[in-house]
Structure 1
Amino acid sequence: MLHFDLPRLSAVCLIFLVAGTVKGVTGMGLPTVAMGLLGIAMPPAAAASLLILPSFVTNIWQLLTGPGFLALARRLWTMVAGITAGTVAGAWLMTNDSAGWTAIALGVVLVVYALFGLAARQLSFPARMERPLSPLVGVVTGLITGGTGVFVIPAVPYIQALGLDKEELVQALGLSFTVSTIALAIGLQRQGAFQLDDIGISGLAVLPALLGMWLGQHIRRRVSPATFRRWFFMCLAVLGLQLALRPIF
């Protein structure tokens, strides 16, 4: 069970406020930012347990507000199945790491995602490749999610390469993130790292996350999303390097 004193609980609320703000501006990034910042102060398994409810609440809203959930679910079901299987299996890596490799892996994933975001390159592939790629992308994403608590690689670049319109893209990302969150909760619970008692602590992070999303939506009207994303990815790269190199220095 997770235990927090008032200073640490205040820090957790501030982290989810920041992570929610990033999601409000960019439409993604809450789990990534939260895991990166929480990973500085606690083991990734504990950070992932805190992430469950805020991530689920914010992503289920994103999933259900799009125009074609059933069509997207039929199209992406093999990826979703791969994410589920990979995440549940990969949670073993996070909860059985005694050497600190999970924190290093988390840092590496953040750096890779940040560099991809800064490159701003749009991937593409022939339509015939979608059927074999979807389950593979799902399994790899799931293993990384289970091992680090970060949902984005390679699912986000893959979904962005599918040629979806703006509303479909947002909903497809919501589907991927929601499934990842549920599968991560199952995987952590199977390993004894997430219990029903932890839901209360995780639930406390929902309000600052939602408040952050509201703030982020207001910021988005006043600040160029492209500029914000660039600074976001630069900060994410620095954070990832700090996590990846901390055991060395």
Structure 2
Amino acid sequence: MSHLLAVNPALVLVSVLVFASAGVVKGLVGFGLPAISMGLMTVFVGVEKAMVLILWPTFLTNLWQGVSGGNLSFLLKRLWPFLVAATVSLSVGTFVLTQVAEGAADLLLGGLMVAYAVPLLRGVVLTLSPAQVVPVGVVAGLLNGVFSGLTGAFTVPGVMYLQSLGLRRDELIQAMGLLFLVSTIALAASLGSFGLMGGNEALASLALVVPALSGVWIGQKIRRNVSEANFRRLILGAILVLGLYLIPLGVWRLW
């Protein structure tokens, strides 16, 4: 797979299982691959190497998700200010990553996820007026980019913003794919500019595309049997679980 993983067969097996499982979650709800794989692989290889390992699986799964669905033109016209903002601010987060204590970003991100998911699961509805869509989108995009550079996870607050637009399930899935795709490209460029893009890790990342895509395919098969209402609850549940996962992970890494 590469020198990084080939020297340790147990690490190869762990990596395959992590990316396959994360792929299933992504195929089911449209996100989660970077957060899950990043969090778990950090335990074994450290945060900077884990961030490189997620790049190829994240890029190719999001390319698949972002360009398929038949809504590309509509979504780009509606979301371009948000997507641009999420891209240009990501390098700020990567810079901060090199300066702050390990685990602080995970703790903050997990707390935001829980704070968002709990009230919506209890019936609170977030919607934006037409006049709010662009300014809120720019702010959400800027914050999303910073958190993406810090944690390698592209979810907060971008997915929350996209959910508030009232998109249909297929539109929401494709919109998340576009957000994650541009964020992955920006993350790769940012890691390279800060000298964090190791060759062995990049080769291992490419090899891990296979289990990740296999997991996505399985998750998509399951998703076809889920209703629109249940799908939205599933997304909120996934955000809550990811948040509850990241909080103790952040505490552990800070410790």
| TM class by smaller structure | 0.7 to 0.9
Distance 1:153 1:213 in 2: 21
Aligned mates of 2:70, 2:100 — CA distance in 1: 45
Distance 1:47 1:111 in 2: 22
Q: How does 1:125-144 map to 2 (within 5 A)?
A: 125-144=128-147
What TM-score, normalized to structure 2? 0.85
TM-score (norm 1): 0.87
Does the 8 Å CA contact 2:113/2:240 hold for their aligned counterparts?
A: no
Answer with 117-126 or 165-174: which moved more: 117-126
226 and 159 in structure 1: CA distance in 2 versus 1, 3 angstrom threshold = closer
- Output the CA distance in 2 between the equivalents of 1:247 and 1:197: 24
Q: Which residue of 44, 47, 59 maps to 1:56?
A: 59
User: Which residue does the alignment assign to 2:110?
Assistant: 110
Comparing 195-204 with 20-29, greater Cα deviation is found at: 195-204
Give 1:229 deviation, angstroms: 5.5
- Show the 5 A alignment for 1:199-218: 199-218=202-221
SS at match of 1:163: coil
> Which residue matches 1:84?
87
Letter in 2 for 1:3: L
Q: Percent identity?
A: 31
Task: Choose the corresponding residue for 2:160, options 152, 157, 160.
Answer: 157
Q: Which blocks of at least 5 consecutive residues in structure 2 are unaligned?
A: none
Distance 1:222 1:78, change over 3 A: closer
Match of 2:248 in 1: 242
The residue matched to 1:3 in structure 2 has which SS? helix
For residues 116 and 128 of structure 1, what CA distance do their matches in structure 2 show?
Answer: 22
The answer (yes or no) to whether the contact 2:104–2:254 under 8 Å persists in 1 is no
Q: Is the 8 A contact 1:118 1:233 kept in 2?
A: no
CA root-mean-square deviation:
2.5
- Counterpart amino acid of 1:148? T
- The alignment of Structure 1 onto Structure 2 pairs a total of residues equal to 246
- Find the aligned partners of 1:128 and 1:230 in 2 and give their Cα distance: 26
CA distance in 1, matches of 2:254, 2:161: 33
